[in-house]
Amino acid sequence: MPRIVPIRDLKNTTAISTLCHEEEEPIFVTKNGYGDMVLMSMETYEKNLFLVNVYGKLEEAKQDMKQGKYSSVEDAISRIRKNHGL
């Protein structure tokens, strides 16, 4: 369940930092009752960035398959061996 905190709670930076690391999820900050910002630890940010990259590559691969842009495993291994002198 997402954690939502009011912006005034940001005054206690140590508690917010601890919360970011404990939750391992983004923390939503509200201002005057409306969403304003999202905070997260560096680890959570990097994990999310990695996942976005993976999902993007999977979507690209899916589009390539729809357009018939793919080869057999044997062909791919052969190209890899050739390119790397194996």
Q: Are 29 and 36 in contact (CB under 8 A)?
A: yes
* For residues 6-11, average pLDDT: 95
What pLDDT shows up at residue 57?
96
Token pair of 7, please? 């912006």
Sorted by where each begins, the domain ranges of the chain are: 3-40, 48-83
With a threshold of 0.75, does the pTM exceed it? Answer: no
pLDDT category, 47, cuts 50, 70, 90? very high
State the amino acid at position 20 in one-letter form. Answer: C
User: By C-alpha distance, which of 57, 19, 17 is closest to 49?
Assistant: 57
Q: Up-side HSE of residue 74: CA atoms within 13 Å toward CB? A: 0
d(CA 25, CA 38): 10
Question: Does residue 1 register a pLDDT over 90?
Answer: no
